[in-house]
Amino acid sequence: MTEAMPQQPVLDHIAIYITDLKKSSAFYRDVLGLDSLPEPFRDGKHAWFAIGQGKQLHIIEGAISRTEGRF
């Protein structure tokens, strides 16, 4: 018998809070070239983008300020 390998975590989407939906959407769409996806909320505060192999990036307007940092 072989020992089963532990299951690795799998992400299906990433969500980030942003300060300006219009500017951020333009960046991800026009600069990075991501394809827009339909988003179900239609409240003017969300945008969804395809980031490959069934994965999605969700950007959500509502951040109070910009945060810059290095990880």
User: Where in the chain are the domains?
Assistant: 13-61
Inform me whether the pLDDT recorded for 71 exceeds 60: no
Burial of 56 (0-12, 13-18, 19+ CB in 10 A): middle
- The model's pTM: 0.81
**pLDDT, position 6:** 86
In a 3-state reduction of DSSP, which class is residue 59?
Answer: strand
Q: Which two tokens stand for residue 24?
A: 């951020």
For strand 36-37 and strand 46-52, is the pairing parallel, antiparallel, or unpaired?
Answer: antiparallel
CATH architecture for the domain at 13-61: Roll (3.10)
Q: Report whether 56 contacts 48 (CB < 8 A).
A: yes
35-66 per-position pLDDT tens digit = 999 999 999 999 999 999 999 999 999 999 88
